[in-house]
């Protein structure tokens, strides 16, 4: 168990600011792409 915690701590220590910024940019672009496919709100009920 101690070795797993040591490995986890070592891998977390390798994460720096640029990694976080890159992940945020990729996440933002993915949300933008998903948002472009969303249907527009009609704004009313169409009863014919």
Q: What is the pLDDT of residues 1-40, one digit of tens each?
A: 778 889 888 887 888 888 889 999 999 999 888 886 666 6
Q: What pLDDT is recorded for position 38?
A: 63
Q: What pLDDT is recorded for position 15?
A: 80
Q: What pLDDT is recorded for position 14?
A: 83
E strand or H helix at 24: helix 17-36
More confident residue, 11 or 46: 11
């Amino acid at each position: 168990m101690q070795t797993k915690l040591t490995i986890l701590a070592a891998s977390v220590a390798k994460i720096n600011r640029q990694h976080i910024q890159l992940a945020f940019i990729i996440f933002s672009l993915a949300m933008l792409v998903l948002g472009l496919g969303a249907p527009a709100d009609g704004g009313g009920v169409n009863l014919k």
